[in-house]
Amino acid sequence: MNTLVRRSLLAAASTALVGGTMLTSPAQAFTSSSSVYVGGTNYYVKAYSCNSYWSSCSWNAETSMSNSKNFVHRGDVKANGISVSLTISADSGAGITGNSTSLATAKESGYGRYNYMSGVARPSVFSISVAARSRLDTAAADPSSGWTTW
């Protein structure tokens, strides 16, 4: 095997190894949470999003209350960058608004002590990062987590 062919094969193998490592390495994740105590009930909200991704990013939003309440839970997901947009998916019980914009929202209403939504964000090629936040609306309190990234 001549030197040129050997170098080409080594370069291809190195690229495949590095590329494979980059694609299979665990994504970096960010979380943000908040809690408030109002009228004998503790309200807690939390959001999660990955920040390093190839073409899509997982996100989730959860909320819990120490007492059962009627609630509206919103999971907001946004793409950060210039002239960006994203499309999100969410659990089957969630309604989604804002797909193909820079901010999409999944919304669930119900009664109880806990709600969890999750999905996948597919940002446009110009996106720098994906951020999520969790918002809870009840008659007594409206806590919100911060954004998981700027």
Give the pTM.
0.78
- Which one, of 84, 38, 35, lies nearest residue 57 by Cα? 84
Confidence of residue 149 (pLDDT cuts 50, 70, 90): confident
| Phi and psi at residue 146, to the nearest 5° | -80, 175
Beta strands in 25-90 (DSSP E): 29-38, 41-50, 57-81, 86-88
For residues 69-78, average pLDDT:
97
| CATH 1.10.3470 for the 27-137 domain, yes or no | no
pLDDT of 19 strictly over 70: no
Residue 64 CA to residue 66 CA, distance in Å, equals: 7
Strand pairing report for 29-38 and 41-50: antiparallel
For residues 102-122, average pLDDT:
96
Q: Could you report the per-residue pLDDT of 20-70, keeping only the tens digit for each?
A: 333 333 445 799 999 999 999 999 999 999 877 888 999 999 999 999 999
Q: Which residues make Cβ contacts (< 8 Å) with residue 127, sequence separation at least 6? A: 79, 80, 81, 84, 86
Confidence of residue 83 (pLDDT cuts 50, 70, 90): confident
